């Protein structure tokens, strides 16, 4: 690994250690892991790898379905939270620290390889896609659930861009993984039976846009990192505060309590062979 790439991975690991992503995943989007497991039709004793697993939003439901699950993530703090959650439910998951762009597994080692709003944050998309397919056996299945560019989280990253530290050259925007044409190009002719559909998850935890802003400012690693990048620039912090409130406001569904529908792409495919 070059010094530049090592620094990038260190930065990525640090961003997701900020705030409290396990709480975000549990309180806002817990249903998405089960949605992906259901879409992949996971059955007992299948060998399943959850890539960029975080705290196990998909890995734990896969294990509850009886699969033999390995959950891999770059950030040790997320894995620790996942171990605790799995232990509380009495399910067996193998937790492993590792890089989505260089998976430490043999070719064809898994029956199902999946990722739930995880692999999209690896910086080099083709490298990650190649690894997902490499470790899946011929005839095995791949399942991906990722935020779309036009959906709420895609808009969030566009909103953050002026305030966040600029990414190094060659790093691709995470929400591209929510574009079916982009993902199709990454996977190419190595997969068949591709099914892709856009869906939404309803988020209604927040009473007001300001409450959403404060929650993400405290808990969502990329937002925390963007605020830290602004340092003591009070004017820029105020601008970012305002933009996050406006983002939530324009995405509200109806009057009253803040309710939002966050769009994602659910894609499943089968490896050739």
Asked whether residue 34 is domain-assigned, the answer is yes
Asked whether residue 225 is domain-assigned, the answer is no
Give me the pLDDT at residue 1, please.
Answer: 58
Boundaries of domain holding 104: 3-201+261-271
Asked whether residue 30 is domain-assigned, the answer is yes
Asked whether residue 9 is domain-assigned, the answer is yes
How does pLDDT run across 175-230, given as a tens digit for each residue?
Answer: 999 999 999 999 999 999 999 999 999 999 999 999 999 999 999 999 999 999 99
Which ranges of the chain have pLDDT less than 70? 1
Strand order in the sheet with 68-73: 93-97, 68-73, 47-51, 110-116, 136-147, 260-271, 191-203
Asked whether residue 68 is domain-assigned, the answer is yes
Give how many domains the chain has, as a whole number: 1
Please report, for the domain that includes residue 57, its CATH number: 3.40.50.150
Asked whether residue 29 is domain-assigned, the answer is yes
Give me the pLDDT at residue 2, please.
Answer: 86
**Would you say the pTM of this structure is higher than 0.75?**
yes
Asked whether residue 157 is domain-assigned, the answer is yes
Give me the pLDDT at residue 255, please.
Answer: 86
Give me the pLDDT at residue 246, please.
Answer: 98
Give me the pLDDT at residue 139, please.
Answer: 98
Asked whether residue 222 is domain-assigned, the answer is no
């Amino acid at each position: 690994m070059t010094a530049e790439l090592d620094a990038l991975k260190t930065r990525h690991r640090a961003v997701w250690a900020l705030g409290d992503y396990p709480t975000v995943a549990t309180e806002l989007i817990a249903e998405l892991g089960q949605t992906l497991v259901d879409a992949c039709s996971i059955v007992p004793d299948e060998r399943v790898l959850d890539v960029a697993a975080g705290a196990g939003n998909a890995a734990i439901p896969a294990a509850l379905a009886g699969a033999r699950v390995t959950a891999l993530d770059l950030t040790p703090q997320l894995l620790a939270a996942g171990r605790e959650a799995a232990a509380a439910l009495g399910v067996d998951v193998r937790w492993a620290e590792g890089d989505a762009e260089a998976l430490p597994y043999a070719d064809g080692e898994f029956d199902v390889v999946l990722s739930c709003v995880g692999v999209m944050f690896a910086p080099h998309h083709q490298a990650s896609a190649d690894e997902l397919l490499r470790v899946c056996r011929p005839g095995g299945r791949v399942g991906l659930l990722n935020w779309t560019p036009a959906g709420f989280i895609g808009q969030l990253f566009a909103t953050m861009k002026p305030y966040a530290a600029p990414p190094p050259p060659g790093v691709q925007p995470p929400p591209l993984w929510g574009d079916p044409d982009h993902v199709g190009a990454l996977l190419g002719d190595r997969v068949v039976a591709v099914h892709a559909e856009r869906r939404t998850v309803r988020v209604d935890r927040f009473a007001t846009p300001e409450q959403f802003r404060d929650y993400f400012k405290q808990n969502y690693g990329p937002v925390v990192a963007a605020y830290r990048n602004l340092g003591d620039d009070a004017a820029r912090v105020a601008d970012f505060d305002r933009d996050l409130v406006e983002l939530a406001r324009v995405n509200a569904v109806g009057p009253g309590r803040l309710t939002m529908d966050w769009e994602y792409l659910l894609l499943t495919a089968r490896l050739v062979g």
